Amino acid sequence: MSTTKDFKERAEKSISVLKQELNTVRAGRANAALLDQITVEYYGTPTPLKNLSNISVPDPRTLMITPFDPSSIQAVEKAIMTSNLGINPSNDGKNIRLVIPPVTEERRVELTKLIKRMGEDSKIAVRNIRRDIMDDIKRREKDGEISEDEQKMEQEEIQKLTDEKIKQIDEIVEEKNKELMEI
């Protein structure tokens, strides 16, 4: 596999993980992705909430969870309460409503720091991928598999791709911060 293709695949996985993590950050707006990490004890098996129910967003501050099996409503409610969402569910026997409270200014500052840290962790992951690929390029040149010129060209290409991915991460983090600061 070419080094650039390997780098792109691994960096995209890192960015994908960042996006998933950012989806779990509550920004004061209802988003079904908030519930992606919640698992429900369903007949003795931990099952992702999204596999047990229909999740809808009836308005910007409310999530509606409709379990496929009405008998599982108590288990779903318990799973939400034990999660670290900080939202109290209310149920009417068929549906569970989650009203997303507005985010306080103090909490926004905390979340901004958390988002920034997530972005930094993702950048570190991309840089580690770059380091691994660069080490491999140097090893291949040392073993005579590629020439010195090819080594320099590949290293320049990897550095260019690294810069692009870092910029992409910065844009994703900035977008999430903008979403968080909207009132």
For residues 39 and 84, membership in a common domain is answered with yes
Q: Residue 78 maps to which CATH number? A: 3.30.1360.40
SS3 40: strand
Of 99, 131, 153, the last residue of a domain is: 99
End-to-end distance of the chain based on CA atoms, in angstroms?
Answer: 47
SS (HEC) of 51-105: HHEEEEEEECCEEEEEECCHHHHHHHHHHHHHCCCCCCCEECCCCEEEECCCCCH
pLDDT tens per residue across span 59-77: 888 889 898 888 888 888 8
Q: Residue 114 maps to which CATH number? A: 1.10.132.20
Of 50, 75, 99, the last residue of a domain is: 99
pLDDT tens per residue across span 12-51: 999 999 988 887 776 667 777 777 788 888 888 888 888 8
Range of the domain at 120: 3-23+104-181
For residues 85 and 52, membership in a common domain is answered with yes
Distance CA 54, CA 120 (A): 34
pLDDT tens per residue across span 129-180: 999 999 999 999 899 888 889 899 999 999 999 999 999 999 999 998 888 7
For residues 144 and 115, membership in a common domain is answered with yes
User: pTM for the whole thing?
Assistant: 0.70
Number of domains in the chain: 2
SS3 45: strand
CA 47 to chain centre: 19
For residues 176 and 108, membership in a common domain is answered with yes
CA 51 to chain centre: 19
